[in-house]
Amino acid sequence: MKLTTNYSFILASESPRRKELFGKLAIPFEVQPANIEEVVEGKLTPEDMAISIAYKKTVPIVEKNPNAIVIGADTIVHLEQESLGKPTSQDQAKAYLKKLSGRTHTVVTGVSIQGSGTSISFAESTQVTFYELTDEQIDAYVATGDSLDKAGAYGIQTMGGLFVKKIEGDYNNVVGLPISRLFQTLLTLEVIKFEKEWSK
């Protein structure tokens, strides 16, 4: 399967995981991190919060590249009424993992597609259930340093995935980018198309 496009794409994220996932489309793209403050005003649902931050990431990049299609994304781990962002210390990472232990949480990724006459956003949600974790397991994982750059203090694609009992929904959404839904959206917008291959 080959895709083609007449547009320039920019991924407004410095996440190596999102870069790898977007690369599955096999179309040319650049990476330009937005470097914004990832906060929003007011009381929002996790979905609206993720979309709002994803959109904020696209704004400065679209201003610099008005003819490109800019894609921003933001992932939030939500447990009951609390959002667990990226921990700022090992102690906070341990506290997050203790809260997630033995429970089901929601991972929400907001995606915003902006620029070149395009403006659409959506949020994808995945339910993730953890096994009961011991203090020893939590301490050993946090000591690796893997927790500190990930929402909810774990990476499902790294050793943090060993804590996951089951998921309901899109695995890639938990990694940081619901690439399947993004692919379908870009096809619907007709900014990417299938490249016809003719065989004799």
Give the catalytic positions in this structure. Answer: 74
CA 30, CA 14: separation in Å to the nearest integer? 11
- DSSP H or E run through 37: none
User: From the CA atom positions of the chain, what is the Rg in Å?
Assistant: 18
DSSP letters, 3-23, are EE-SSEEEE----HHHHHHHG
User: Would strands 193-194 and 3-4 be described as parallel, antiparallel, or unpaired?
Assistant: antiparallel
CA 127, CA 104: separation in Å to the nearest integer? 7
**What six digits make up the tokens of 62?**
């679209």
- Helix, strand or coil for residue 106? strand
Q: What angle do CA 25, 155, 61 make, to 5 degrees?
A: 50
Q: What angle do CA 183, 187, 191 make, to 5 degrees?
A: 105
CA 145, CA 157: separation in Å to the nearest integer? 14
